[in-house]
Structure 1
Amino acid sequence: MLDLVIDARPAAISASMKVKRILPFRLRRMVGPFIFMDHAGPIDVAPAIGSSLDVLPHPHIGLSTVSYLFGGQVTHRDSLGVEQIIRPGEVNWMTAGRGIAHSERFEDPAALVGGELEMIQTWVALPEKDEEDAPSFTNYTPEQLPIFTDKGVWMRLIAGSAYGLGNDVKTNSPLFYLHVILEPGARFGLPKGHTERGIYLAKGSVEVAGTIYHQGQMLVFTKGADPVIVAKEPTTLMLLGGEPLGERFIWWNFVSSRRERIEQAKEDWKQGRIILPPNDNQEFIPLPDDKSKPAGSAPRPEPLS
């Protein structure tokens, strides 16, 4: 029934941006095609130090980034020349394909006070046939995302299909991704029809089969499990999963089904072959040192399976 519980670990993605990292995890690298999940915030900082939260231009290959905000706002800029202010309830889907660079900057002083800034970012691995596609970016407004309500339950379909809901968010493989809010005592079940399914507790707590789970935990369920999820207090969940894609390798911001493709991406970034955002090209994150192997040996990307 319950296959695994993943506890979020602390990580940092910029000088001051601390996050809770959920995926990848050493015992469970992927849930369906989802290979990465970070939860940032709630953040309450003085506007004067807001720039230290910024994530400078950096590269991706072989994946789609999905940014979803609970509160605040962030400005996205990428190699395609896109400049998009991301606001709560929107879906911002950037497909890296053969290579893209982007930045995430926190430029609105009002969004940095009061603990309103909070966001989830996931990465969705691409099928092998799509890994070298041209990069793209699409912003979907809340009006394009269906909402379902029932007694004590509110949910928004971010992408894919679940509970009979669907939307026009373009995905490359079968998946589901939902934002769910439960009132105390509400009972909820997992969507059916997907091989791999997980629940991340962004806020609150739930009871499953007599055990209580808390904020910052992801519950991963076995295929065919039909648990009853009971909210113990006001609770926010992120539900995700879908069909597995097979083995993937990951190193830094690069994902691929081929180890040698990761090595090529490293060299592409060092040599400037992945273009910086034209409206944010004065600074960038350099390729980090690979400390996974002794000096002189070939670095090996970490497999995700």
Structure 2
Amino acid sequence: MIKQILIPTLLACLPLGQAICRAQIGSAEAQSADEVTAKPEDSVSNELDKIEAEYRELICMRAADASSELQTRAIELALRHRYVDARFDAVIRKAMQDVSQADNWDVQRVAKATKLLPLCTLSVKERTELAFGCYLASGNSRADRELQRDLRRYLASAPDETSRLVHEQMLAGNPPASIFELVTIAGQSTDATLPLLMKIAKSDDAGSAEKAMLLIPNVIENLKSHTQKRIAANELQKLGVTELEEKYVSFAERIVARYDRNKDGKLDSGEYGTMLMSPASADLDHDGEITIHEYAAMLQKQRN
């Protein structure tokens, strides 16, 4: 305690030059300590981050530049690294808008814009509408057919919006032949499109009727699968999980089977009331019963 009091007092009594010298020594010691704690790998990491950012900027800039000889290669690299960039929005709009007029159709430019669709920041609705318009506008050349294949692949990734556009096109009457290849993309509007397809199948237009007759079974199967996936997604949303891990489902199945006296595949309050630890919190919809998936979701959330 005496030392702590004396040292500051002595320092205060020192001549000004000596006090400054001691301050400088203290500053130098602090700087030396900082240099010791700074790790070489930190410097390397910062440099790598800088180069990576410069590389990303270079690729996005060239992918968005229609005048660049390296645009195609840059687009491939942007896709490989999944570089999403707002600059692609203008490229896509310029290439894909108003393509119904022959003077505005440039298959090579549209093909590049199509590849950029997953990397732009446009809404799904706008992207799908642009792709759908280009799909209908494309012709029968080899390049156009390759473009149609890429557009169809993209449209399949947005089933709800695509099914809406297909339904509107079918509802307008006299749909183009190419539209039939999109009917099998099952989405929210496909169930409304199916009766229109049946109407075409019953028509006197042999060509269109034949296509419809061949497509209807596939549309029904795809619609069934789509409905099942939507029901499962809705159930997961209610359970508060993005997916159920198989190990928890298997465990829940064994527990439910053990206490399920009436063998209905779920537990009511009388059945789970005999359990050592009550799973009542798993009853998310408060219907007095716990399903296997509800029990599995409870276990998964407890463990995670």
TM-score (norm 1): 0.20
Flag the structure with more relative contact order, 1 or 2, with Cα contacts below 8 A and sequence separation at least 6: 1
TM-score (norm 2): 0.20
Q: Which has the larger radius of gyration?
A: 2
More helix by percentage: 2
